[in-house]
Chain A
């Protein structure tokens, strides 16, 4: 088995008297594609923020081996800056020499024509593509994605999975959190976040959710 690149031990998160995470433990190796599913309010975003280091757990610890990429559920961009300026800004933040890979990602996600457009003038879907690009552009060892394909059209959704597979084959551990995981056969493992802990999801349950999810997607697109 490949080396563990992300490891969470006994995570507890309380907001006042409400316990959101209750002794949650989780680990994943390099090159794994992990899905975490949970109902609304189950604590998915809280878990991802803790894994990303953006939120402190009440107890427990998280170890990330290597670099981390984090794509938050809500797009976090600067409306005044253009797409190209975002890439340059994050190139500096990640201490990268250039934006060659980021430029390739833009072409892969098919929004190169908006390079000089201020983000405030972009559609929600294109903003989401940039949001994702900023999380990927430094080729992280661990990639945490919170509802990553919200706002994507069908073509972009497929391109996203192409990228995710490529990253996995390059040894990146990809963790996708969503209230509903489509195409569950793509994942190496799926966990359900319930009552503050992760429960491995059975294949049968995955198939049922997958069938429902695919149907829903077909209707939309």
Chain B
């Protein structure tokens, strides 16, 4: 079973690494977007409401907008990567399961691909961010990586969910773009009349943004933000995997008989 899992996870990752368009987008788009946003937004103080205290604290608008730009880029790219693979391989996955690949193994491999890609993309985005804004400490950098990772996990799981339910590739891409844009734009505090409103907590990027700003500016990480972020990952992921399981199940057991 372990060997089967390792093989399945390896090919799930090989497939991700062969998505050259997504990788090219990652390599070019993240620094370009950070540079553009960094150049557009001037230094200046802006209020950001922390979930842990409920209080506004002042942060540099330029730095916090760079964080938002990173969220925007990585949520788009990770969701696109996972969506493209899930949608393209629906029939292939079904064939593998029919051939005898245990569904839990197929599901574990999908989760592994999301986690590994999310971790790598988050690491890359953090390293690029440091080129434009140097957080005060290594701990702050780790907090930003964690925040990016959590956002990438949620959007990777969203990509999987859309990949198993949306029939049109174009519709899936548009949904990813619209959801990511709306979500990450709303969380940005600079020149946003809706900034710091309570309803923002209902969006997937809220928890990661709280962790990035709070941890990135040396105020620690609230457990509630962490749990909220993981809840989005789990919610999208479980729903997507349930539908994947439903679609790939066979109508017989042990290859001996199948019946209505």
Contacts and interface: CB of A to CB of B under 8 A. Distances in A.
Interface stretch (B27-35, B58-66, B121-129, B251-259): B251-259
Interface residues of A, number: 38
Interface in A41-83: 52-68, 70, 72, 74, 76-81
Contacts of A78: 11, 15, 89, 92
Interface stretch (A89-97, A101-109, A200-208): A89-97
Given A56-B260, A80-B15, A90 B252 contact: no
A54 B251 CA distance: 7
Nearest to A69: B99
B4 interface: yes
Contact of A60 (B11, B92, B256, B259): B259
A78 to B, nearest CB: 5
Contact of B11 (A53, A64, A85): A85
B98 interface: yes
Contact of B96 (A55, A61, A62, A89): A89
Given A64-B256, A67-B255, A90 B99 contact: yes
B15 A59 contact: no
B88 to A, nearest CB: 7
Interface in B1-45: 3-4, 7-8, 11, 14-15, 18-19
Contacts of B257: 61-64
Contacts of B15: 78, 80-81
A22 interface: no
CB-based closest 8 A-B pairs:
A61-B259, A93-B101, A92-B7, A93-B99, A80-B18, A63-B257, A53-B252, A53-B250
